[in-house]
C-alpha cells in the first residue's frame, strides 16, 4: 500500500494517574495506640538480676509531667519510661521502652547475625522480643533458672519470638516500637521546653 493511503491508528488515551489518598498520607500514626507511663522501679527481676516486665496494670492515661521526673537523681529513671497497648489482627499487645542494659542485650543477641543478610531481621526481632511485655494479657516466657551467660534471658526471649512468629507480625510490632520511641522523644522535647 502506498504511504499516502495507510490508515492511521488513533492514539490510545493515557490512563489518568490515581489521585493520592491525602487522608491516608496524613493519618495519625498513633491512632489506636494507648500510651501509658510505667514505673521502672517496680520491674520484676528474673534470676540473673536483669530487669524485665513492668506493673500489671499501668495508669490509664499518659502523664508525661509526673513529678517523679523532676526528683533529684532518681528522676532520670522515669525519663523515657513509656509503654503502649494496641490491638492488631485480633490480638492485644503491650510493649515498653527498653533500658540501656536491654539495648545492649539486643547487641549481644544479634552478634551471630552481623554482616549477614539477616542482620536487619535479627535486630527487629530482638527489639520486639525484648520490648514486648504481654500478648493477650499473658507475659512472654522468661528463663526460670540462672545461666552462666548474663544475657541468656535475652537470647531465650529472642529465640522464642524468632522460632514462633512470622516476619509480617514482627515487622508490625517493630513499627509500633518505633512509634513508641518517637512518642518518648516528643514528650521529652515538650518537657525540655517547660523546664
Residue 177 lies in a domain: yes
DSSP string, 152-172: HHHHHHHHHHHHHS-HHHHHH
CA dihedral 90, 23, 180, 142 (to 10 degrees): 20
The total domain count for the chain is 1
Residue 129 lies in a domain: yes
Q: What is the pLDDT of residues 87-104, one digit of tens each?
A: 999 999 999 999 999 999
Residue 14 lies in a domain: no
Residue 53 lies in a domain: yes
Angle (deg, nearest 10), helices 167-194 and 119-131: 60
Q: What is the pLDDT of residues 101-120, one digit of tens each?
A: 999 999 999 999 999 999 99
Is the CB of residue 140 less than 8 Å from the CB of residue 52?
Answer: no
Q: What is the pLDDT of residues 112-166, one digit of tens each?
A: 999 999 999 999 999 999 999 999 999 987 666 566 787 888 999 999 999 999 9
Residue 103 lies in a domain: yes
| pTM of the model as a whole | 0.67
- Structural domain range at position 42: 32-194
Residue 16 lies in a domain: no
Q: What pLDDT score was predicted for residue 61? A: 47
Residue 94 lies in a domain: yes
Collapse the DSSP code of 118 into the 3-class scheme (helix H, G, I; strand E, B; otherwise coil) and give the result.
coil
Residue 23 lies in a domain: no
Amino acid at each position: 500500500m502506498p504511504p499516502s493511503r495507510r490508515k492511521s491508528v488513533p492514539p490510545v488515551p493515557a490512563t489518568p494517574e490515581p489521585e493520592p489518598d491525602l487522608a491516608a498520607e496524613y493519618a495519625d500514626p498513633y491512632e489506636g495506640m494507648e500510651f501509658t507511663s510505667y514505673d521502672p522501679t517496680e520491674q520484676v527481676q528474673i534470676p540473673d538480676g536483669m530487669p524485665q516486665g513492668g506493673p500489671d496494670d499501668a495508669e490509664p492515661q499518659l502523664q508525661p509531667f509526673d513529678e517523679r521526673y523532676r526528683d533529684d537523681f532518681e528522676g532520670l529513671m522515669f525519663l523515657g519510661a513509656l509503654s503502649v497497648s494496641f490491638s492488631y489482627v485480633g490480638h492485644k499487645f503491650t510493649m515498653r521502652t527498653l533500658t540501656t542494659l536491654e539495648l545492649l542485650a539486643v547487641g549481644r543477641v544479634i552478634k551471630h547475625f552481623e554482616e549477614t543478610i539477616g542482620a536487619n531481621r535479627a535486630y527487629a526481632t530482638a527489639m520486639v522480643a525484648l520490648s514486648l511485655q504481654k500478648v493477650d494479657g499473658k507475659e512472654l516466657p522468661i528463663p526460670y533458672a540462672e545461666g552462666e551467660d548474663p544475657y541468656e534471658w535475652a537470647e531465650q526471649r529472642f529465640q522464642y519470638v524468632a522460632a514462633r512468629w512470622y516476619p509480617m507480625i514482627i515487622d508490625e510490632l517493630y513499627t509500633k516500637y518505633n512509634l513508641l520511641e518517637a512518642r518518648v522523644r516528643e514528650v521529652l522535647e515538650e518537657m525540655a521546653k517547660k523546664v
